[in-house]
Amino acid sequence: MIEVEVKVRANLEEVEEQLLKLGAHFGGEFYEEDLYFNSPFRDFSLSDEALRIRFQEKKGLFAYKGPKLDPISKSREEIEVEVSDPSKLRGILLKLGFKEAGWVKKRRKKFELDSFRVFLDEVEGLGGFVEIETKAEGPYEELLQKALELLEKLGLKGELIRESYLELLLKKG
Amino acid sequence: MIEVEVKVRANLEEVEEQLLKLGAHFGGEFYEEDLYFNSPFRDFSLSDEALRIRFQEKKGLFAYKGPKLDPISKSREEIEVEVSDPSKLRGILLKLGFKEAGWVKKRRKKFELDSFRVFLDEVEGLGGFVEIETKAEGPYEELLQKALELLEKLGLKGELIRESYLELLLKKG
């Protein structure tokens, strides 16, 4: 499964107003705590991969993300599975030699518009971002083009950001 | 969590009869398909660790088992977590560089007696085995002693087997 994704910095209040004008459906507000890991035998910051446990109230989500597929967007292969107990999974990864790379904590509002999910993220330590996402089984260029058009419709003309929140946080120090 | 465990080869019909005489509670019969993995940066057959996905009908179990803790039994640290989709977890492990070491398939009858779980395993390609298991938070010597006594009560006087089913299958070739 390919996750097609673009991301920009944004004033979240303005974008939310614009989303509602365009008829987007509000899908809920979440507080997410993500723990990222690095591999003991290849540096994910060089191989452009990511391994993440999302801690939720009663369960967790375990995700692997492959290298980004084009020089513009954040589109990449993603495999995600639900786990009953994220703390136990963290224990398994540490036993296997994986190293904790850092936490990303954010308050996220989710909207749905056409075939896209639009996330308004208030990231602790970084500020406001908009992510536009969809899934593709095969070629995704057309979907990426539509995601870029949606950015424009939302009045978002800032530079596309390809770095992850973790990378931005680590760069900030 | 320590998994305290002893294992012997056995005639399963005889053991089942003996278990019922001792008042054991029958806990169900299951067909289990376990896929074991090896690590790309340390050989689990040397480090005496194990990483396993158990494929069940609608979910999976992901387990890490540490090195055995004594020269007699199979007691070892175990961390286990439930996953929504074992095939996706398999995909993540392969992406991370883990290698499939082999499948173990068995029909398992579960019994409970005192604080022990007794498993009667008919392992494909290997035959009948009895495993006596319990969990311990700290020192486990006393529990191990009781497990050995239970083996005796069940008339099981064969040699204790410390090799895993996977090791026995790989040795058999």
Summarised one tens digit per residue, pLDDT across range A43-92 is: 999 999 999 999 988 899 999 999 999 999 999 999 999 999 999 999 99
Nearest-CB residue to A85 (from B49, B81, B89): B81
Rounded to an integer, the average pLDDT of A30-54 is 95
- Sorting pLDDT into bands at 50, 70 and 90, what band is B16? very high
Q: How far is CA A69 from CA A5, A64, A65, A162, B88, in A?
A: 11, 15, 11, 11, 21
What number of residues does chain B have?
173
Q: Pick the residue from chain B with its C-alpha nearest to A92.
A: B64
Which residues contact residue A49 at a Cβ distance below 8 angstroms, ignoring those fewer than 6 apart?
A39, A42, A64, A65, A66, A67, B95
Cα separation of A69 and A30, whole Å?
28
Distance CA A132, CA A119 (A): 6
**B64/A96 CB distance under 8 A:** yes
pLDDT confidence of residue B68: 94
Instruction: Give residue-wise pLDDT tens across range A103-134.
Output: 999 999 999 999 999 999 999 999 999 999 99
Are B47 and B141 in contact by the 8 Å Cβ rule? The answer is no
Name which of A89, A96, A99 to mutate to probe chain B: the one with the most chain B Cβ atoms within 10 A of its Cβ.
A96
pLDDT for B41? 87
Element (H, E) at A66: strand A60-68
Q: Which residues of B119-155 are buried (b: 16+ CB within 10 A; e: fewer)?
A: bbbebeeeebbbbbbbebeeebeebbebbeebbeebe
Domain edges within chain A: 2-172
> What average pLDDT does this structure show over B85-106?
97
**Whole-number pLDDT of residue A160:** 96
CATH dotted code for A2-172: 2.40.320.10
A36 in active site: yes
Higher per-residue pLDDT: B173 or A4: A4
Return the structure tokens found at B37. Answer: 């993995």
pLDDT per residue as tens digits for the range B44-54: 999 999 999 99
Longest Cα–Cα distance of chain B, Å, equals: 50
Residue A1 is predicted with a pLDDT of 87
Averaged pLDDT of chain A: 95
**Mean pLDDT, chain B, whole residue set:** 95
Judged against a pLDDT cut of 90, whether residue B57 lies above it is answered with no
| pLDDT (mean) for A1-7 | 94
Minimal-distance CA residue of chain B relative to A39: B96
